Amino acid sequence: MLTRDFLRNADCKTAFGSIDETMLLSSEQRLASLDCTLAKRPDQSPVWIFGYGSLMWNPIFESEEACPATLNGYHRAFCLRLIAGRGTQAQPGRMLALKEGGKTTGLAFRLPEDKLREDLELLWKREMLTGCYNPTWCELELSDGRTVTALVFIMNPLHPLFEADTSYKVIAPLIARASGPLGTNAQYLFSLEEELKNYGMRDDCMSELVNQVRMLLGISPTPSADILLG
């Protein structure tokens, strides 16, 4: 599992697996992306981060507040070809991202201002290794009725690792086979399934995919194919 110390010390060229250097953002490019994003920070309001994948169960940062939240206008999709971390160039998997349309329920984290820069630099090192996401300020509806503006990592459809076909018949075999220095692609999928269940959330992209991957791995299907509404 990723930790703060791992991210602080990680050499991006080797720590996540073998990645073509032409795909990697340099540290200068990552910091420039962060600076550009922070320059668009609305009204110096608190910085919230929207977690819809591994940030839900392993955010790395310590937030001042965490709350279930809904993002309208985007949905989860395993549309990112995974060539590092939990996959390789030779045996790529699929990583989660967001595509336009629908809605997504996840967790909103409010970051402490005194550690903001440190937390965001580590987050950029984690999420923006190849610049595959567009960090975007979006409105979230919190479960307690509040509306906040949060940073959301949305798939860049022009990125070379973008994959348009996210049908479970295509991606289930990829997820079932892929693994890398951070573990297996299936472990990621099952962790997401468990976290969504913990918060009573549902995602239509998940149920059939989870059961197909379990079948390919010879694991019994989940007791219920439904992951509650989100």
pLDDT, tens only, 111-146: 999 999 999 999 999 999 999 999 999 999 999 999
pLDDT in tens, 15-58: 898 888 889 999 999 999 999 999 999 877 899 999 999 999 99
pLDDT of residue 223: 55
pLDDT in tens, 55-101: 999 999 999 999 999 999 999 999 999 999 999 999 999 999 999 99
Pairing of strands 147-155, 93-110: unpaired
**Partners of 138 in beta bridges:** 150
Tell me the mean pLDDT in the region 183-196: 96
C-beta neighbour count of 66 within 10 angstroms: 16
The question of whether 127 is a catalytic residue gets the answer yes
pLDDT of residue 220: 79
Give the lowest-confidence range in 4-13, 118-127, 221-230: 221-230
Catalytic residue among 28, 62, 118, 127: 127
**Partners of 103 in beta bridges:** 72
C-beta neighbour count of 125 within 10 angstroms: 20
Tell me the mean pLDDT in the region 189-194: 96
Tell me the mean pLDDT in the region 180-201: 95
Report the predicted TM-score, pTM, of the whole model to 2 decimal places: 0.92
229 pLDDT more than 80:
no
Secondary structure in 3-state letters for the chain: CCCHHHHHHCCCCCCCCCCCHHHCCCHHHHHHHHHHHHHCCHHHCCCEEEECCHHHHCCCCCCCEEEEEEEEEEEEEEEEEECCCCCCCCCCEEEEEEEEEEEEEEEEEECCHHHHHHHHHHHHHHHCCCCCEEEEEEEEEECCCCEEEEEEEEECCCCCCECCCCCHHHHHHHHHHCEECCEEHHHHHHHHHHHHHHCCCCCCCCHHHHHHHHHHCCCCCCCCCCCCCC
Instruction: Identify which of 177, 163, 168, 27 has the alpha carbon closest to the alpha carbon of residue 91.
Output: 177
C-beta neighbour count of 151 within 10 angstroms: 21
204 pLDDT more than 90:
no
Please give the structure tokens belonging to residue 200: 């009573």
CA distance 76 to 99: 7
